[in-house]
Structure 1
Amino acid sequence: MTYLPNDSYDSYRSVDLEARAASASPYELVLVLMDGLLDELARARGHIEHKRYQQKGASLEKCMNILNGLNGALDEENGGEVVQGLARLYEYCIYRLSDVSVTLSLDGLDEVVNLLGTLREGWEGVSAARK
């Protein structure tokens, strides 16, 4: 089996992500971001497990940036309680990932993965219902 060098894989992922984002509805775009976030969380886990702390830091930073982007895109003026709840969830996940970065807690990382996985399922249901 042939493996792509990391730079080649990152380039492929970037092009794939750009193509998916360009053709996505707003709901599908959230799913694309959530998928990227969950993929990066899995990479962060691998970095922690293999003691690649510099890469762990970069992965967790990417995750927090995606969460900040999702949080910043919320319509707080018109979204009501749902948006407020999402904002609190995103902020909590950022807080937990900051803690994971220092403590290297896989339990903390798993908590974030489980929360976001459940949220992703909800977004998938919303996206399917809008089609």
Structure 2
Amino acid sequence: MRHYTKATTWARRGLTAVAALLLAGAATAHGAQAALRHVDKGDWLYVTVTHGDARAGDTRGTLLLCDPPRGHSRAAQACAELRSAKGDIRGIPHKEVFCSMIYAPVTVRARGQWQNRTVDYTETFANACVMKARTGDVFALDG
């Protein structure tokens, strides 16, 4: 049995946040510092969207904070969807939309903490329309 102080727990969360940023491939000094400042403030996810090949495509990412919602162009909507799904991105209700059958792969990734549980989600969709229909505003990084 291990006993952790509050400071130790925050430090561990900070290391988790930095590790998530590094593994997401978008860890800048500013991004890592932002993650460390906010990890003790509730639910958060570092979300990335890669258009094209997951290894060589165009990747964008941001830190989504939900207590209060910020750090994301649609933070309030994304946090509301995550709350209704209890932090499970796969549990977000799918929207009934018509998407083209053009294959333009989009890989999304979310890593972080939700209600003291670690979140590690990765999925590739056929195109951005399908991604939006399945994940709502969580990965809507284009504004």
- TM-score greater than 0.5 by the shorter chain: no
More helix by share: 1
Please report the TM-score for the alignment, with normalisation by the length of structure 1: 0.33
More strand by share: 2
